[in-house]
Homo-oligomer: A and B are copies of this chain.
Amino acid sequence: MQPENAHQARLLTSLRFNGAQSAAELATQMSLSRSKIGQELARLQESGFVEPAGKAASQGGRRSGLMQLSRRLRFVGVDIGATSLDVGVTDGRLEFVTHTSETINIEDGPETILGRAVEMIDKLRAEGHLPELDGVGVGVPGPVSFRDGFTVSPPIMPGWDRYPVREYFMQQLDCPVLLDNDVNLMAIGEMYCGLARSVPDFLFVKIGTGIGCGIVTGGRVLRGSNGSAGDIGHIAVQGTGPVCGCGRTGCLEAWFSGASLSRDATALARSGDSPGLHELLGDRDALTARDVGIAMRNGDPQALGLVRDGGRRVGRVLAGLVNFANPGMIVVGGGVAGLGHPLLAEVRSELYRRSTPLATSNLPVALSELGGHAGVIGAAGLINDHVLGVNLAS
């Protein structure tokens, strides 16, 4: 099911963003005749996209009938992480219906993980959360060929290279499917349901195990020439520095990320330089970014130092990107963003110090408020856009 023409796409787009409306309101908005709008709405009702939504409040005369997106519409977002698999369901207006999550190991490979995802969707269907299934958006933590629907040389996903993820879901679920990089999807989540609502140009920076960036310009995700745009974790902060997973030295994420925080905090714990981290380590193999947060809040100066140094390096890279892209907002998310304001303060300070005043004169830098949900909401949003024809209409 897809809108048949640009008029229908514009109608669906307006109903998604603005909710129930009368044919008269829609006709005025779209500069089309009331009869043309009535015709298109009738066809959309036949194909199951829209339904009547009662009468409008009386304006003195005859009360006009409202139309809305069908309440049966369901879009599923699948967010595949390195260690977690999240499945969320939204309605046609991207309101959250339900959400479920499991622990996985992405190295188990695509057959296992994708099979699990389909089972989770089947279970949601059995529980009645999916009166219909209108599309599935899928995110993976690696570079994606958006057009082809598969991952391309993903560094942390052995066995997934060029595996036909989109094809797999389309065959199993018989509905439209799109695959994207997880950070792009989190950016879409922020654009539709997060802090960046109504900001057409912004950056979403995910600091998790690695670091990545979703770039939104003019309300659209910038994917670049072969889909690798936003790969900022491998921008060099200094010529020398720790060796990165990519084989080079000085990459941003080799200096600061969930993985490097774990490495540095564990080293400080073992050397005894930080009694606080030493105590937290106990007899475990390694500390995590979360442990660094605990030690920092307990007043451990070494833990705070790690966070501040990291924030400064992130800020320095972002300063360059702000001069380059001149975004209207920066949203910071991902697990490591849980370190909160001490991290954000350093990012901001370096950013404002190093960017040109014109570019930062009105540039909010904020922590994501969507938490773990940004990815699934963005995935559902991506496929909802596609099915309703939102980009056709804009």
Residue A308 interfacial (CB < 8 Å): no
The reply to whether B224 and A320 contact each other, CB–CB distance below 8 Å, is no
Chain B's closest residue to A326 (CB) is B224
Residues of A contacting B: mostly: loop
A72 surroundings in chain B (CB, below 8 A): none
The reply to whether B229 and A324 contact each other, CB–CB distance below 8 Å, is yes
> How many identical chains are in the complex?
2
Interface residues in chain A, defined as those with a beta carbon under 8 Å from any beta carbon in chain B: 143, 152-153, 201, 213, 215, 217-218, 220, 222-232, 234-236, 246, 248, 316-317, 319-321, 323-328, 354-359, 361-363
A230 surroundings in chain B (CB, below 8 A): 324, 326
Tell me, in angstroms, the Cα distance from A354 to B249 when the chains sit together: 9
The reply to whether A354 and B231 contact each other, CB–CB distance below 8 Å, is no
A362 surroundings in chain B (CB, below 8 A): 225-226
The 3 closest A-B pairs by CB, nearest first: A224-B326, A225-B328, A229-B326
The reply to whether B326 and A231 contact each other, CB–CB distance below 8 Å, is yes
Other-chain contact of A323, B235, B319, B355 (Cβ < 8 Å): B235
A324 surroundings in chain B (CB, below 8 A): 213, 215, 229-232, 235, 321, 324-325
Tell me, in angstroms, the Cα distance from A218 to B152 when the chains sit together: 21
Tell me, in angstroms, the Cα distance from A90 to B195 when the chains sit together: 45
Other-chain contact of A224, B223, B227, B231, B327 (Cβ < 8 Å): B327
Give the Cβ gap from A267 to chain B, nearest Cβ, in Å.
25
A153 surroundings in chain B (CB, below 8 A): 357-358
Give the Cβ gap from A224 to chain B, nearest Cβ, in Å.
2
Chain B's closest residue to A223 (CB) is B326
A328 surroundings in chain B (CB, below 8 A): 225-226
Q: A217-B217, A222-B217, A359-B228 are in contact. Are A236 and B354 (CB under 8 A)?
A: yes
